[in-house]
Structure 1
Amino acid sequence: MFVSYKWLSEYVDLGGMPAKELAEKITRSGIEVEGVEKLDEGIKGVVTGYVLEKEQHPNADKLNVCQVDIGEDEPVQIVCGAPNVDKGQKVAVAKVGAVLPGNFKIKKAKLRGEASHGMICSLQELGIESKLIAKEYAEGIFVFPNDVTPGEDALLQLNLDDEVLELGLTPNRSDCLSMIGVAYEVAAILDCSVKLPEIEVNEAAERAEDWIKVSIEAKEDNPLYVARVVKNVKIGPSPLWMQTRLMAEGIRPHNNVVDITNYILLEYGQPLHAFDYDRLGSKEIVVRRAREGEKMVTLDNAERTLSPEHLLITNGTEAVAMAGVMGGANSEVEADTTTVLIESAYFNGQRVRQASKDHGLRSEASARFEKGVDPNRLQAAADRAAQLMAEYAGGEVLAGSVVAGEINLEPKTVSVTLEKLNRVLGTNLQTVEVEDIFRRLKFEVTTDNEQFIVTVPTRRGDITIPEDLVEEVARLYGYDNLPTTVPTGATSPGGLTGYQEKRRAVRRFLEGAGLNQAITYSLTSEKKAKEYALDTRELIKLAMPMSEERAFLRLSIVPQLLEAVAYNNARQIDSLALYEVGDVFLKETGAELPAEEEHLAGAITGLWEENPWQGEKKAVDFFVAKGLLEGLFAKLGLSERVAFKKADISGMHPGRTAAVELDGEAIGFVGQVHPQQAKDLDIKETYVFELKLSPLFAAETEAVAYEPIPRFPSITRDIALVVDSSVEAGELQAIIKEAGGELLKDARVFDLYEGEHIEAGKKSIAFSLKYFDPAKTLTDEEVVKVHNGVLDALKEKAGAELRS
């Protein structure tokens, strides 16, 4: 809801309070003000002018040279390209030195050889959105319809010296979908009175009931319908003050009759509709449900097919409006309209919403009916509209209103005790303070033994239970004034569990390494649910799956990550690194629900390091994936307890896949997706891994021990070992580390050779061994002694021979 500060001040004495200060008070009392817009922000130097002369530009067909009186000693010459500029018009002029929105500064200029001292402005150039401008001024300059004096501030005439508050209303506060409703709210906050519009309707001798009859067939959908008739109206533009107020509220002006109905909608919150009486086709209004397949053409010239769920306003035979949503084209107020039928009705919000949703027609009117309108304002809104049509459209208001149906107009009564108020709010309010709050809200209240019996006006349909009264007292008393308390009882500081800390560390490590987190479906197909599972279990099928592709709970995360890789590869994203921490679902014998086990999985494909110019171009391979896991285990302090063993896993490359073991127990795998599987998925060479997180996080680790940087040099020995082809490098590395003792600090593989210089069935694996003692410089003899022990152990346990 947009609220004009100047308009609001007509109902409530704001005392000159700045708009931003008022917005702060409204926000602190429970309705958020999302922003305050100053309509003349960034504009200065714009005055009213009178076009004295207009001549064709001698050197341009589409330009005119105008002499304009702007209230100074001499007229100024302005070159204008607007097609609608003409002699005798009163216009808005940006003088030389003026500033328009966007910091656009007006300077002296020459256009095709003719001097121009200013600019005749359109409303768009003054910062008003095109969609809010009346159609006659949508293209070209704006012409004042009223009498203005040249040289006056044009922004004052256009009400652009106003500020607009944007209220972010929750659905329960539909009472503030009107200026009067907001006025009641602000009056309660500021503790002042509300000045309501004075309604005085001068009625003609003829009676409305002689012109129109109203009957309601769908009484549940439309319990009350009020109609008034205004004859001899003259369609034309509405007064400028009304147009500018509508534009400030986000509504486009049309003509005086339609603008008045929109003005009342904003003022009272009661949607009205104006029918062209002569185009109705009868002298009766019948409100009924639509028939199946019935059709009507709405004001937007679209043909609508209706159903019995939709409520219609008809002339007895055909539809003339979709109740609460949009009028029909067959009864539209047009330039030749002379008699207007004003509709003010109470429609069921659910019925209006059904039609609005079915036809995609959201409007200011439908929004108010959906949230609820005040039934006590129906008659006042109709009378006010009739009064304005008589004043600004020259109409004659027929005597009386035609009223059909009835509705309970009695206010509700809700009670609450002082004890409950203070207990819930933690306050120590006295009876007189609470009574004063209800007085400010304009609620009638009687007090009986510290029980407040509150008569809630019909405009506040959101207040139905004692808790609603507690909220009203709290927000008017001031949320900032409510006392703060500290929870009592045994408390402990919050924090992450050890499991949560390690999970967070895993995510940070992988994201720091360049992987992106993915979140994939837990539901998959029967085929994919079985793939890459670390534990083989019976599949769990949903009772009512959304599709066969999402019918089973997953046993592994890798298939879903491969789907993501395929999706990206198909869109020319060839380099991808994803990881996911998520649950897999394992069926337990005798258990109603599956066990949820958290896994870590990743998928990497394409280039690991790109070469934009002189950089290295490195494709993802097995050692990149394995290196990521090694870095992760080092982060968790488990490097010495994790081993990689050659493995044969379905769907994985037979020579580039390793099982991951923690303390000898398999917890996952890492390797390349089998080429055939990759071909089936239409993906490039891809490496994946998946680990169980529970055993990783449950493993106890020793506290981090820091060692000083060694002051003494190390000694390196390289050895090339000839072993059987079946012997694994990891096995040799374990023997070396065990035999090397404390002096051996590192042992790394740096070469593998199989070829013509090696005996068939053999291979050469080269290791680099580093020895050092943190307390002294090692002698050659000490290193040789330990190194020989390593060689002996290798020969004894693995049959390894030094390659000559």
Structure 2
Amino acid sequence: MFVSYKWLQEYVDLTGVTAKELADRITKSGIEVESVEVLNKGAKGVVIGHVVERDQHPNADKLSKCLVDVGEGEPVQIICGAPNVAKGQKVAVAKVGAVLPGNFKIKRAKLRGEESNGMICSLQELGIEPKLVPKEYADGIFVFPSDAPVGADALELLHLDDEVLELGLTPNRADCLSMIGVAYEVAAILGRSVKLPERGVHENHEDVHHYISVRVDAQEDNPLYAGRIVKNVKIGPSPLWMQARLMAAGIRPHNNVVDITNYILLEYGQPLHAFDYDRLGSKEIVVRRAKAGETMVTLDDVKRTLTDDHLVITNGSEPVALAGVMGGANSEVQNNTKTVFIESAYFTSPIIRQAVKDHGLRSEASTRFEKGIDPARTKEALDRAAALMAEYAGGEVVGGVVEANTWQPKEVTVTITLDRINQVLGTAITKEEVAHILTNLQFAFTEDNQTFTVTVPSRRRDIAIEEDIIEEVARLYGYDNLPATLPVAEATPGKLTAYQAKRRKVRRYLEDAGLFQAITYSLTNEAKATMFALEAAAPIRLALPMSEERSVLRQSLVPHLLEAASYNRARQVENVSLYEIGSVYLTNSESELPNEKERLAGVMTGAWHVHLWQGEKKAVDFYVIKGILDGLFALLGLENHIEYKQTKREHLHPGRTAEILLNGKTVGFVGQLHPIVQKDFDLKETYVFELALSDVLHVEVEEIRYTAIPRFPSIIRDIALVVDEQTVAGEVQKAIIAAGGQLLKDVAIFDVYKGDRLPEGKKSIAFSLRYFDPERTLTDEEVTAVHEQVIKAVEQQFGATLRG
């Protein structure tokens, strides 16, 4: 809601309170003021000028040479490029030395050889948004009314010497979607009274019932419908002050009749609609649900197909408006309109919300109906609009109001004790202070033995229970004045769960290792949804996707990380290392809700280490990314539970891919992208991994136990075993560890050889074995005995032979 500071002064005395101070006090009382905008945006030196003469520029077809009286003696010559400038107009003139928004300073200049002493301004050049400028002035200068005084401050006449407060309203404060509602709020904050606008209507001696009748068939949707006839109106521009207030509130002016309905919407929060009476096509108004398949053309010239979920205003046979949302083109007020039927109604929120949703037509009017208006103001707003049309459109108000009214006002009363207020707020507020606050809010109440019985005004639909009254007392007493108290209860300090702590460890480790965290979409397309998935599952498609590229829930994090790597590479970021912790979505059938499982994935491409000064550069390879995972598993205490097995997976390189097993169960994979996939993503050699993080972090591991550094020397024996080329080195290593018993403390592979010196189909794997006993020094005989057991075991299991 945009609130003009100067306009607000008409309802509440703001003496001694600046716009910024008022914004601060409103915010502290519970409604956030998001900004305070100065409308002139720093402009100055702009006056009203009278175009005395206008001639064609001798050297330019699209320029005019104007002689303009700016109220300073002799007229000055100004060159103007506006197509609508003409003799006799009153226009905004930025004199030499003036400043326009954006700190644009006006200087004396020559344009195509002719001197120009100032600038004739459009509204856009004075800082008004183009979408708010009246259509007739959208491509040219603004023309002031003929009675505008020459030399007067143009910014003041346009009400640009004003400030606008933007209120960020929560859904419960629909009462502040009007100037009067904001006035009640401000008056309560400042402890001042509210001056309501005069709405006296001078009626003629005719009877409105001779002109039109009203019948409401859908009474649940429309409990109150009222209307007035204003005849002999003259369509033209609305007063300049009204146009300025509409533009300040974000509404474009149209003509006096339409502008008055919009003005009342802002003033009272009551949406109105003006019909051209002569174009209605009948003398009756019938409000009903639309028929399924019924059509109408709305004011935006769009043909709408209606359903029986929509409420329409009809002339008895065909719709003339989509109730509370938009009028029909067949009854629009036009330049030749003579008689106007003004509609003021109370439509219930659900019926309007449904129409807005179905037709995508949210407007200032529908917003207020959706959040709920005050039915008590419906006829007040109607009278005020009729009075304004009589004054500013030269109309004649026909006597009486035509209405259909089944609305039954429900008085809301809330009873609360002073003790209850103080108990909740932790205060010692007196009953006099509470009474003062309720009086400022203009809530009727009685007090008996410190018990308040409050009658809630209909404008405050958000007040219904004790806690609502407590909130009102708290915010007007001042949140800053509430004492800070600790809760009286047994409290357990918050902490991370074991799972959360481990996940945080994982993040820190990966970032320390040089990977950057990425957060990608949970939605992808059908082709990428199942790529790299650890588990087979049915794709889950959205019922109403944003686009086909975001139509299916992902089953792997890797595809989007590859997109991120590709995006970076396309922007000359060659070295990319990313990880993501996020959810994938798995289900067995479309009828089941998906299971959400947490995954950890990473992608690395380019150089792993670059030190240009020392000439060092190490490219990412399989063992770099596997080494990072090894470090992660060691951090989590899982190094003895993890196993890598060579495997083949779709989309990954057939010879450089391994599955990761945790206690024999597959929990992930690591490997190089298949060259075809790399090409599809426009990447160079790229490595990826993905882990079922929830499975990894939920594993119970033994606590770390520390042992003393051995005091006795160890003995190292190296062996080179010749085995079949297909033999997996890890399997051989397991056999060595099993056969080595307690004396064998460490086994490491340090060489693999294939070549001419070995028989075809054979390879040599070299192991370094370290033996020691923490309690004594081992003898050669003891180590030899165990070492021979190791050699015998690998000979029997793998047919291995020692390489000479």
TM-score when normalising by structure 1: 0.82
2:723 is the counterpart of 1:724 = yes
Partner of 1:89: 89
Give the secondary structure class of the aligned counterpart of 1:377.
helix
Aligned mates of 2:386, 2:521 — CA distance in 1: 60
State the shift of 1:484 in Å. Answer: 1.7
Aligned match of 1:551 = none
Match of 2:556 among 533, 538, 560: 560
Question: Aligned equivalents of 1:718 and 1:453: distance in 2?
Answer: 93
In structure 2, C-alpha distance between the alignment counterparts of 1:123 and 1:531, rounded to whole Å: 59
Distance in 2, matches of 1:216 and 1:596, equals 50
Shift of 1:599: 6.6
Q: How far does residue 3 in structure 1 lie from its aligned partner after superposition?
A: 0.6
Once residues 734 and 626 of structure 1 are traced to their aligned partners in structure 2, the CA distance between those partners, rounded to angstroms, is 23
Q: Deviations over 1:751-795 (max 9, x none)?
A: 422111224454334679999xxxxxxxxxx9x999999998986
> Sequence identity of aligned pairs in percent?
55
SS of equivalent to 1:324: coil
CA contact (8 A) 2:96 2:118 kept: yes
What is the rounded CA distance, in whole Å, between the counterparts of 2:199 and 2:520 in structure 1? 64
Who is 2:223 aligned against? Answer: 223
- In the other structure, the counterpart of 1:145 is 145
- Corresponding position of 1:536: none
Partner of 2:550: none
**The 10-residue stretch of structure 1 (120-129 or 602-611) with the greater mean CA deviation from structure 2:** 602-611
Report the Cα offset of residue 573 of structure 1.
Answer: 7.8
Please state how far the C-alpha of 1:80 moved relative to its aligned partner. Answer: 0.5
Amino acid of the structure 2 residue aligned with 1:513: G
1:408 paired with 2:373, answer: no
5 Å-filtered alignment, 1:526-545, equals: 532=534
619-628 vs 71-80, which deviates more?
A: 619-628
Deviations 1:244-265 (A, max 9, x none): 0010011111111111111111
Structure 1: distance between partners of 2:8 and 2:444: 24
What is aligned with 1:300?
300
Change (3 A) 1:80 1:495: same
Q: Aligned letter for 1:18?
A: T
Aligned to 2:28: 28
Name the CA shift for 1:219/1:62 in 2 (closer, same or farther; >3 Å): same
Give the letter aligned to residue 723 of structure 2. Answer: D
1:513 maps to 514
Q: TM-score, normalised by structure 2?
A: 0.82
Q: Which amino acid aligns with 1:204?
A: N
Q: Deviations over 1:702-741 (max 9, x none)?
A: 489999xxxxxxxxx99783533447278569979999x9
Residue identity in the other structure for 1:300: D
Inter-CA distance 116–541: structure 2 relative to 1 (3 Å threshold): closer
Q: State whether residues 647 and 654 of structure 1, in contact with CA within 8 Å, keep that contact through their aligned partners in structure 2.
A: no
- Counterpart amino acid of 2:41? E
Q: Is 560-569 or 225-234 further displaced after alignment? A: 560-569
Deviations 1:442-494 (A, max 9, x none): 11111123221112111112222222222222221122222221123544433
For each residue in 1:505-545, what CA deviation from the matched residue of structure 2 results, as whole angstroms up to 9, or x when unmatched?
Answer: 112323453264567589999x9799756xxxxx9999x99
2:70 is the counterpart of 1:70: yes
673 and 468 in structure 1: CA distance in 2 versus 1, 3 angstrom threshold:
same
2:297 aligned partner, one-letter code: V
**Structure 1, 102-111 or 790-799: larger mean CA deviation:** 790-799
C-alpha contact 1:604 1:687 (8 A) present in aligned 2:
yes
Q: Secondary structure at the match of 2:504?
A: helix
Deviation at 1:421, TM superposition (A): 1.7
Check whether the contact 2:515–2:577 (CA below 8 A) recurs between aligned residues.
Answer: no
Instruction: Work out whether residues 101 and 127 of structure 2, in 8 Å CA contact, stay in contact via their aligned partners in 1.
Output: yes
Per-residue CA deviations over 1:49-80 (Å, capped at 9, x if unaligned) read: 22222111111011011122223244322111
2:102 pairs with 1:99:
no
SS at match of 1:505: helix
In structure 2, the residue matched to 1:172 is 172
Aligned to 1:317: 317
Which residue does the alignment assign to 2:118? Answer: 118
Q: Which moved more, 1:104-113 or 1:181-190?
A: 104-113
CA positional deviation for 1:631: 2.5
Taking a change above 3 Å as real, the CA distance of residues 367 and 755 of structure 1, as seen in their structure-2 partners, is: same
CA change 1:264–1:63 in 2 (3 A) is: same
Gaps of 5+ in 1: 534-538, 548-556, 588-592, 708-716, 772-781
Query: What is the one-letter code of the residue matched to 1:369?
Result: F
Q: Distance in 1 between matches of 2:599 and 2:217?
A: 64
Kindly indicate whether the alpha-carbon contact (under 8 Å) linking 2:225 and 2:344 is maintained by their aligned counterparts in 1: yes
Does residue 398 in structure 1 map to residue 401 in structure 2? no
Q: Which amino acid aligns with 2:115?
A: A
Residue-by-residue CA offset, 1:326-380 (whole Å, 9 max, x unaligned): 2222222111112212211222222222222222221211111222222221222
**Distance of 1:90 and 1:723 partners within structure 2:** 103
Q: Match of 1:61? A: 61
State the shift of 1:603 in Å. 5.4
Provide, for residues 361-416 of structure 1, a one-character-per-residue CA deviation record: whole Å limited to 9, x for no partner. 21211111222222221222111111111111111222222232232246432222
Match of 1:277 in 2: 277
Distance, in Å, in 1 between the alignment partners of 2:681 and 2:153 is 70
Q: Which moved more, 1:605-614 or 1:695-704?
A: 605-614
Q: Distance in 2 between matches of 1:518 and 1:385?
A: 53
Task: Evaluate the alpha carbon distance shift between residue 750 and residue 54 of structure 1 in structure 2; reply closer, same or farther with a 3 A threshold.
Answer: farther
Q: Which residue of 1 aligns with 2:375?
A: 375
- The amino acid of 1:237's aligned partner reads P
Structure 1 residues 211 and 154: CA distance shift in structure 2, 3 A: same
Distance 1:597 1:36, change over 3 A: closer
Conserved? CA contact 1:80–1:120, under 8 Å: yes
Q: 1:54–1:431: structure 2 CA closer, same or farther, 3 Å change rule?
A: same
Q: 1:698 aligns with which of 674, 697, 700?
A: 700
Taking structure 1 as reference, are residues 738 and 519 closer, same or farther at Cα in structure 2, changes over 3 Å only? Answer: farther
AA of the residue aligned to 1:94:
A
Task: Report if aligned partners of 2:521, 2:560 keep a CA contact under 8 Å in 1.
Answer: no
* Cα distance in 1 between the residues matched to 2:203 and 2:655: 98
User: Partners in 2 of 1:691 and 1:344 — Cα distance?
Assistant: 61
Question: What is the DSSP-based 3-state SS (H/G/I as helix, E as strand, rest coil) of the residue aligned with 1:560?
Answer: coil
With 614-623 and 88-97 compared, the bigger mean Cα shift is at: 614-623
Matches within 5 A, 1:331-342: 331-342=331-342
Distance 1:249 1:601, change over 3 A: closer
Alignment-derived partner of residue 477 in structure 2: 477
> Superposed, which structure 2 residues align to 1:435-454 within 5 Å?
435-454=435-454
- Cα gap change, 1:594/1:376 in structure 2, threshold over 3 Å: closer, same or farther? closer
Change (3 A) 1:47 1:792: farther
Q: Distance in 2 between matches of 1:691 and 1:220?
A: 55
When structure 1 is superposed on structure 2, of 128-137 and 758-767 the one drifting more is 758-767
Give the whole-Å Cα distance in 2 for the aligned partners of 1:311 and 1:598: 45
Secondary structure of 2:473's counterpart equals helix
Other structure's SS at 2:468 match: helix
Q: Corresponding residue for 1:266?
A: 266
Write the letter of the residue equivalent to 2:244. Answer: T
Decide whether aligned partners of structure 1 residues 43 and 748 sit closer, same or farther in structure 2, where only a CA change above 3 A counts.
Answer: farther
Change (3 A) 1:87 1:613: farther
Match of residue 45 from structure 2: 45
Return 5+ residue gaps in structure 2 as ranges: 544-552, 571-575, 710-715, 772-777
Deviations 1:550-582 (A, max 9, x none): xxxxxxx99624555787899998988555465
User: Hey, what's the Cα distance between the residues in 1 that align with 2:436 and 2:190?
Assistant: 13
